């Protein structure tokens, strides 16, 4: 395995009209994120070159400059360099990458990277006509093309990978929905999909990525594009790594009514070990989704399940209504909490709608360590028969080393006139550690709804969750 991994990532949007592109910058940024999180690349060793209409760059000049900066750092016996390109490509007598108006031969790019002397070289191209006119129709042709490819590119190299988005006579598509190139979208998905990793080594190879992208694109008849791979390698080269963790939680529930009580019960399940604020946010967000589906008669039953780092909401309806899209429309009411949730968790949560029937809303969380973790709850049972004065709470110690404090007042009689002061006292008394406060009231308590409205309407009480 390579000791240090370096990368040069190029994304060009601002070609002259009508050839401008829109998502190449996002391709680069999303790939960089995966290289750091899954592929053993350090942030400082990834050189990003992005040119957009708002921030134009002389790409060729920047590319040459980054090459020169890399040379002193390279160890030719152990290191790896990845070159990634998202932009326009062209095939004339051979493959060219378009650095704006300048067409650069792929042969020259290879020569540049090869001159660094690294042990492994990886070239990933998401560009039209990037497959270097290689089509393998039979074994004889395969053998001949391998020989051609080896002589032209990899004869003097220890390990070389070419992973291209399409063949030389094909164009590469982009997907506005995901703001990615089609090929890069499935490259990212493959890295994110733990099920693709080898069960023994917990590693993902470029061959696995190619196969995944190829199958996905071939089964999607909307695009005529054939991802292509060619390598020269002795041994096995893992590209991405997955640190397998035991299931942190696994439970499910079927909802059959418009009540949000089932949602609360689901997320309060003892087997769900959730980071303190995430529990509350998920209850609020999922409740909105479920009620939206029920209120519009899109579903008469909804199934919740949570396992490892994934939450899945399944609605059993014949409609393909996507509540995400309804919520994100400008001016649409939809889910009022939708934008707040994606703003808060966008960096660690990917949301996907899979049309059915049944329809599935899938939430995949990336950072298990910070999002899902074992919690340290504390329980405080209020024994005062009457909480007519908020000062009665001073008899209890709230300064505890807890991630959560369960305050059970279900056996107490709370006066509505002091409920606001009581909530304020709970916040003030726990200010030092700022734990999540789970306030338990009896379901038959006629003031429970009023207390819930106080919590919902006052930003100061956002650490309090009523159950």
Tens digits of per-residue pLDDT, 190-239?
998 888 898 888 899 999 999 999 988 887 667 788 888 888 766 678 89
Q: Helices 338-345 and 276-295: crossing angle, nearest 10°?
A: 150
pLDDT digits (tens, 9 = 90+) for 363-409: 887 654 444 444 455 666 665 555 555 566 666 666 666 667 777 77
Q: For residues 43-52, b (16+ Cβ closer than 10 Å) or e, as one string?
A: eebbbbbbbb
Tell me what the mean pLDDT of segment 448-456 comes to: 83
> What pLDDT, on the 0 to 100 scale, is given for residue 47?
94
| Ranges for all domains in the chain classified under CATH 3.30.750 | 377-466
Mean of pLDDT values over 166-185:
86
Residue 300, SS3? coil
Which one of 69-73, 341-345, 385-389 scores highest in mean pLDDT? Answer: 69-73
Token pair for residue 312?
A: 């899945």
At 218 the pLDDT is: 82
Considering only 34-48, 242-256, 328-342, which range has the smallest mean pLDDT? 242-256
Query: What is the rounded CA–CA span in Å between residue 55 and residue 49?
Result: 11
* pLDDT at residue 462, rounded to an integer: 79
Nearest to 114 by CA among 146, 63, 80: 80
120-126/80-86 β-pairing: parallel
Measured between alpha carbons, how far is 284 from 297 in angstroms, rounded to an integer? 20
- Provide φ and ψ at 416, rounded to 5°: -60, -35
- State how far the Cα of 275 lies from the Cα of 85, in Å rounded to an integer: 38
| Helix-helix angle 448-457:416-429, to 10 degrees | 50
Q: Which of 214, 224, 94 is nearest to 149 (CA)?
A: 94
Tokens (6 digits) for 465: 């969750």
pLDDT in tens, 256-299: 444 556 677 777 765 666 666 677 778 777 777 777 776 666 66
Tell me, rounded to whole angstroms, the distance of Cα 234 from its chain centroid: 33
Integer Cα distance of 10 and 181 in angstroms: 13
Instruction: Kindly state the DSSP code that residue 431 receives in the 8-state scheme.
Output: T
Residues 162 and 178: their CA atoms lie apart, in Å, by 25
Q: What is the largest CA-CA distance in the chain?
A: 90
Give CATH 3.30.565.10 domain extents, the chain. 250-371
The CA-to-CA distance between both ends of the chain, in Å, stands at: 52
Mean confidence (pLDDT) of the chain: 76
In this predicted model, which residue has the larger pLDDT, 97 or 277? Answer: 97
Dihedral-angle region of residue 307 (phi above 0 means left; psi in -120 to 50 means alpha; beta otherwise): beta
State which H helix or E strand residue 160 sits in. Answer: strand 159-164
pLDDT (tens digit per residue) in 136-150: 333 333 344 344 444
Report whether CATH 3.30.750 matches the domain 377-466.
yes
Of the pLDDT bands very low, low, confident and very high (cuts 50, 70, 90), residue 118 is confident
Q: Using alpha carbons, select from 353, 348, 347, 319 the residue that is nearest to residue 335.
A: 353
The reported pTM is 0.53
Distance CA 99, CA 120 (A): 24
Name which of 231, 242, 225, 237 is nearest 191 in CA terms: 242
**pLDDT at residue number 463:** 79
| H-only helix segments in 334-415 | 338-345, 368-371
Architecture of domain 250-371: 2-Layer Sandwich (3.30)
d(CA 10, CA 112): 15
Check: CB of residue 438 under 8 Å from CB of residue 463.
Answer: no
Q: Is 5-241 assigned to CATH 3.40.630.30?
A: no
Lowest-confidence pick of 181-195, 370-384, 426-440: 370-384
Mind listing the pLDDT tens digit for each residue in 353-369?
887 777 788 888 765 44
| Helix (H) / strand (E) containing 51 | strand 46-51
pLDDT band for position 335 (50/70/90)? low
Domain with CATH 3.40.50.1460 in the chain: 5-241
The alpha carbon dihedral of 37, 38, 44, 47 has a sign of negative
Task: Give the closest residue to 465 by CA, choosing from 286, 309, 269, 268.
Answer: 268
pLDDT at 202: 86
**More confidently predicted of 35 and 116:** 35
């Amino acid at each position: 395995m390579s000791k240090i991994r370096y990368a040069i990532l190029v994304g060009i949007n601002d070609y002259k009209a009508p050839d401008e592109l829109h998502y190449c910058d996002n391709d680069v940024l999303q790939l960089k994120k995966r290289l750091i999180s899954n592929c053993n690349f350090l942030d400082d060793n990834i050189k990003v070159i992005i040119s957009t209409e708002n921030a134009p760059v002389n790409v060729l000049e920047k590319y040459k400059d980054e090459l020169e900066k890399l040379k002193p750092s390279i160890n030719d016996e152990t290191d790896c360099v990845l070159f990634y390109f998202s932009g326009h490509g062209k095939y004339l007598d051979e493959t060219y990458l378009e650095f704006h108006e300048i067409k650069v031969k792929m042969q020259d790019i290879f020569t540049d990277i090869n001159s660094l002397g690294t042990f492994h070289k990886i070239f990933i191209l998401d560009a039209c006509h990037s497959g270097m006119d290689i089509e393998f129709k039979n074994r004889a042709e395969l053998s001949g093309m391998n020989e051609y490819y080896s002589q032209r590119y990899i004869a003097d190299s220890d390990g070389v990978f070419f992973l291209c988005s399409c063949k030389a006579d094909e164009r590469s598509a982009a997907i506005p929905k995901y703001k990615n190139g089609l090929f890069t979208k499935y490259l990212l998905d493959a890295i994110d999909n733990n099920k693709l990793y080898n069960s023994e080594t917990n590693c993902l190879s470029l061959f696995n990525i190619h196969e995944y992208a190829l199958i996905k694109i071939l089964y999607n008849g909307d695009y005529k594009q054939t991802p292509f791979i060619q390598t020269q390698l002795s041994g096995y080269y893992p590209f991405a790594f997955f640190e397998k963790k035991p299931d942190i939680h696994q439970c499910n529930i079927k909802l059959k009514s418009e009540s949000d009580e089932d949602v609360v019960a689901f997320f309060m399940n003892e087997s769900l070990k959730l980071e303190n604020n995430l529990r509350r946010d998920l209850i609020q967000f999922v409740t909105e989704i479920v009620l939206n589906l029920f209120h519009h008669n899109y579903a008469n039953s909804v199934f919740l399940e949570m396992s490892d780092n994934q939450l899945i909401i399944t609605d059993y309806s014949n409609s393909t209504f996507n509540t995400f899209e309804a919520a994100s429309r400008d001016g649409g009411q939809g889910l009022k909490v939708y934008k707040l949730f994606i703003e808060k968790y966008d960096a660690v949560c990917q949301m996907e709608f899979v049309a059915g029937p049944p329809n599935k809303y899938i939430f995949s969380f990336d950072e298990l360590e910070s999002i899902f973790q074992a919690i340290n709850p504390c329980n405080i049972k209020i024994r005062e028969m009457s909480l007519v004065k908020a000062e009665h709470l001073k008899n209890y110690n709230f300064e505890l080393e807890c991630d959560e404090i369960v305050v059970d007042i279900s056996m107490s009689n709370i006066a509505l006139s002091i409920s606001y002061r009581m909530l304020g006292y709970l916040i003030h008394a726990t200010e030092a550690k700022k734990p999540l406060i789970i306030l338990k009231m009896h379901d038959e308590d006629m003031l429970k709804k009023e207390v819930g409205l106080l919590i919902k309407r006052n930003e100061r009480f956002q650490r309090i969750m009523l159950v």
